[in-house]
Amino acid sequence: MSRQLGVGLYGAGNIVHDGHAPAVAAGVSTRLAAVCDIDEARARTLADAYGGANIYTSLDKMLADPSVDIVIMATPNNLHRRDFEACARAGKHVLCEKPLAVTYPDAIAMARIAEEHKIVLKTGFNQRYLNQIRMAKLAIEAGLIGEVFSFRTVFSAKWDNWVDGSNFRWDLERSGGATTNDNLIHRFDMLRYLLDDDYAEVVADVSHCVIPPVVDDNVHLMVRTNKGARGSFIADRYSPVLGDATELYGTKGSLSFWTNAGSPFFDVPLAINTTVPMNELPEPISKAVYPTARSKQNRHAWDGWLSIWPPRNEWDTYAEQLAGMAEEILSGTRDGIGATGFDGARATELVHAAYSSQIARAWVSLPLADDAPFAFPDFEGHGYDAKAGRS
């Protein structure tokens, strides 16, 4: 068996519990070496659940542990930049949870520090590994929908659906935002990944309307990309998920996928409309078309529509993400799916630019300067008072 990489979990909160710790245990080339959290009991409970590991309450001590090769950083967002630098100096590879940082200057600095110290830095955009996203990427690359000039995406998630252990999301300074920087940032990455494109301009309405903490809970963005596509991003944090679809409109067809919603309207994970005949579809797609009889007997899909039901792999995405990173460290082969530090910085850049647009009430051009000034929009006084009506 090839070398196993020791993983140090930094932060033993919810996403480590649900996603990263099982991923480390499932990996053939990874093993759990250490767990570090300011809450020692939390670190110990997690380590014990996986057969034991070194326990730390200080990052510096974990970084001095030679059995740790990779640090999975899953602490509140405002700590990522500072702590990443310590990891890089110690020569540890880092899988940093999204968002890489709160501001674009911090995020781009992290990507550059990784290069300087020759360590692998990955950003935890695990949703790239969802099977329906892999197939959407394949469909776009195979030309099934032609050139995309328009897209729209929705991400609603009620604020008390995901309970984090340290309650950091509702504190702007610690999270950098509860909707744009927490959820919508997944889509910022996903769209630029799928389209192999970058954002050129954004205009945003980032507001606080409903929930008790004064954070962004209702967000609308319009963007233009370098290749000329126009798109809109809509997200809220006050309502249960109704739809979380992403739709791409191309010159030869269109596609729509759902990410991980559990609403009754979550029907087909990926739907493609294309003029490409069935027998010319890339194999993973033709195998996942439902019903299969249609793909075997008809050259063309009914009215051009293909319903794709890939195997569901929501929680396996963490293992696939880590396996790709481990392979890259061990063999030097770049994992083609995983988001790099620069990918993470580009997504943070759109959050930063959206806030700047809200403050300026104007379109903002990208790329931003490496030292672009950052400020939070003023959410105070823009909320909804149920008794008084709109303030």
Ligand X SMILES: NC(=O)c1ccc[n+]([C@@H]2O[C@H](COP(=O)([O-])OP(=O)(O)OC[C@H]3O[C@@H](n4cnc5c(N)ncnc54)[C@H](O)[C@@H]3O)[C@@H](O)[C@H]2O)c1
Q: What is the CA radius of gyration of the chain?
A: 21
- Nearest distance from C-beta of residue 103 to ligand X, angstroms: 15
Scan for tokens 């053939």, then name that residue: 28
Q: How many residues does the chain have?
A: 391
- Nearest distance from C-beta of residue 4 to ligand X, angstroms: 24
- Nearest distance from C-beta of residue 27 to ligand X, angstroms: 17
Lateral strand order in the sheet of 5-10: 54-56, 30-36, 5-10, 70-73, 93-96, 121-123, 339-340
In angstroms, the CA 216 to CA 148 distance is 29
- Nearest distance from C-beta of residue 156 to ligand X, angstroms: 15
Closer CB to ligand X, 11 or 310, in the complex: 11
In angstroms, the CA 312 to CA 333 distance is 27
- Nearest distance from C-beta of residue 28 to ligand X, angstroms: 22
Closer CB to ligand X, 176 or 253, in the complex: 176
Closer CB to ligand X, 77 or 274, in the complex: 77
Closer CB to ligand X, 33 or 288, in the complex: 33
CA 172 to chain centre: 19
Scan for tokens 């899909």, then name that residue: 301
- Is 226:390 a contact under the CB 8 Å cutoff? no
Of all residues in the shown chain, the one whose CB is closest to ligand X is: 13
Closer CB to ligand X, 254 or 259, in the complex: 259
- Nearest distance from C-beta of residue 224 to ligand X, angstroms: 27
* DSSP 8-state secondary structure symbol assigned to residue 316: T
Inter-CA distances, 112 with 71, 100, 103, 381, Å: 18, 13, 15, 39
Closer CB to ligand X, 249 or 318, in the complex: 318
Residues that bind ligand X (CB under 6 A): 11-15, 37-39, 42, 74-77, 79, 97-98, 124, 126, 164-166, 168, 182
- Is 253:304 a contact under the CB 8 Å cutoff? yes
